[in-house]
Structure 1
Amino acid sequence: MTISTAEKRANFRKLHEAGCFVIPNPWDVGSARYLAHAGFQALASTSSGYAWSTGRADNHVGCDDVIDHLTTLSAATDLPVNADFEAGFADDPDGVAANVARAVATGIAGLSIENSTGRPAQPLYEDALALARIKAARAAIDATDPAIMLVARCEGFLTGERDLARTIARLVAFADAGADCLYAPGIAAPDDIAALVRAVHPKPVNVLIVQPSMTVQGLAALGVRRVSVGGALARTAWAGVMGAAKEIAEQGTFTAFAGAAKGAELNGLFGKQSEG
């Protein structure tokens, strides 16, 4: 690698100052290096994509494994990496702070914290606790390198509480507590997105692609600064594997291989990166 961690973090912050960029989500070194080759300017890890690559369900990977994964991804390319750090792998603020401090040491340029508990009976943290968790994450980052971006997420639209006003109120509070970027995965209606952008301005908003009809140009026109795809690239890759395997197992034919990437192309791409 030719770019220092400090340079990655500075580059990442600069990306959020104006315009709109896509931050795709690789799940391993190969996908990270391909996305860098494809011309993207930053990457974000995906909890689901990484979990599936290890044969586990999303949110069933421990903090130690995620720390190792972030270290690997951060070292894989010269691009800054934003960590999908789930809910911080702890309920209490002190636990979140301790785990965030570990994540900071992996070389990441940004880190997101959810307010989702993972518990069906109470899917979101109580607001005061959620705010304390964001403050703890901010303090842990600032103790090492304030240049690292903190992304605060509200999962209301993913957990059935599709209340825009409450989501915006939470994200405004998180912004006031030191979050650098705000994120409400699941929000998709243009008017809702525009309202969120206005509410937290001038801080940037991240939008997750949840409908194939959404476009970068359309989101940019609403004032969105960055666009992520979550586990969608990983799901697309798995769809190819699953479809081909099913054809072989059930029909004994191999027509799905007709659309496969060429081995020579992949060897050429990764060979050049290995030499570099």
Structure 2
Amino acid sequence: MTAFADLHHADQPLLLPNAWDHASALLLTAHGFRAVGTTSLGVAAAAGLPDGAAATRAETLHLTRALGPAPLLLSVDAEGGFSDDPEEVAEFARELYALGAAGINLEDGLGPADRHTAKIAAVRAAAPGLFVNARTDTHWLGDGDPEDTLARAQAYRDAGAHGVFVPGLTDPREIAGLVRALDDVPLNILHSPAGPSVAHLADLGVRRVSLGSLLYRRALGAAVEAAAAIRSGGTVPEGTTPSYEEIRRLSR
């Protein structure tokens, strides 16, 4: 875990791009990203399954198995661990670690905080080398109550989480306050076009900035734009399009 954990305490925040398959992860690595996360939305949508519904356990394991030997530090988005049973979540985390994952992201889905703390503690015991990033959905699914956010974040820290993730939080003052309240436990923020820049987040003390499903959604948008341009008689710029041979090499 040390190499991945160290990235959260470097001079700049860890900018973590999120991949949805083998090719996207390796292409990001080839372009200088040492650590890559997965996006549960991308993994689910690519398989025709719902996100956040504990439907992609097998797909998540399959992707981790494919990426485990790759030259990257992998953090796996495991939704809520695909179970409400802390021991089952711990067993899943143990499998991820055995396959080569460096970290796991576990979301509370605004469920009971004590259930999430039990999952965190169980994962820490089952896979001590796995970096546990504990996500609270107070701003993602709830009303963003600052007191609830702080209480959950501190509870997850006290349960042994190595980092805390609050997607949807964009207010600089609340971010800075949460950084102070968590002491030396890294705060993870989801990049938002409407929120602070990475440089501003760094000044606020944020140690990890995730891109979530943004890259997957951009890739889908680019595909549709390219098809529509060709249909209307236009052309697609080649500059940012990887060559056939470049993608082929990723799977060798």
Check whether the contact 1:82–1:108 (CA below 8 A) recurs between aligned residues. yes
TM-score (norm 2): 0.90
TM-score normalized by the length of structure 1: 0.83
Return closer, same or farther for 1:201/1:64 CA change in 2, 3 Å cut-off: same
Q: 1:243 to 1:43 in 2, by over 3 A?
A: same
SS of 2:118 mapped into structure 1: helix
Q: How many residues align?
A: 250
Name the stretch that deviates more: 155-164 or 60-69: 60-69
Out of 116, 124, 144, the residue aligned to residue 138 of structure 1 is: 124
Distance in 1, matches of 2:242 and 2:66, equals: 24
The residue type paired with residue 47 of structure 2 is: T
Distance 2:194 2:99 in 1: 33
Percent of pairs with identical residues: 34
Q: What is the CA–CA distance in structure 1 between the aligned matches of 2:9 and 2:241, rounded to whole Å?
A: 39
1:108 — aligned with what?
Answer: 101
Query: CA-atom RMSD, angstroms?
Result: 2.1
Q: Which residue of 2 aligns with 1:66?
A: 60
CA distance, structure 1, for counterparts of residue 91 and residue 14 of structure 2: 31
Q: What's the counterpart of residue 120 of structure 1?
A: none
Corresponding position of 2:50: 57
| Structure 2 residue matching 1:257: 3-state secondary structure | coil
Conserved? CA contact 1:13–1:147, under 8 Å: no
Residue 124 of structure 2 contacts residue 130 of structure 2 at CA under 8 Å; is this kept in 1?
no
Query: Following the alignment from structure 2 to structure 1, what is the Cα–Cα distance between the partners of residues 242 and 32?
Result: 21
**Would you tell me which structure has more helix in proportion to its own residues?**
1
Contact 2:16/2:36, CA 8 A, preserved across alignment: yes
1:1-276 matched pairs, under 5 angstroms: 9-19=1-11, 20-60=13-53, 61-75=55-69, 77-116=70-109, 124-141=110-127, 146-212=128-194, 214-246=196-228, 252-255=231-234, 257-258=236-237, 261-262=240-241, 264=243, 267-268=245-246, 271=249
169 and 74 in structure 1: CA distance in 2 versus 1, 3 angstrom threshold? same
Q: Distance in 2 between matches of 1:80 and 1:259?
A: 30
In the alignment, the residues of structure 2 paired with residue 213 and residue 186 of structure 1 have an alpha-carbon distance, to the nearest angstrom, of: 9
* Kept in 2: contact 1:244–1:254 (CA 8 A): no
State whether residues 43 and 59 of structure 2, in contact with CA within 8 Å, keep that contact through their aligned partners in structure 1: no
Q: Within 2, Cα distance between the matches of 1:86 and 1:210?
A: 20
Change (3 A) 1:67 1:268: closer
Structure 1 unmatched ranges of 5 or more: 1-8, 117-123
**What SS does the corresponding residue of 1:40 show, helix, strand or coil?**
coil
1:137-183 Cα shifts (integer Å, max 9, x gaps): 22221xxxx23211111011111231112111111111111100111
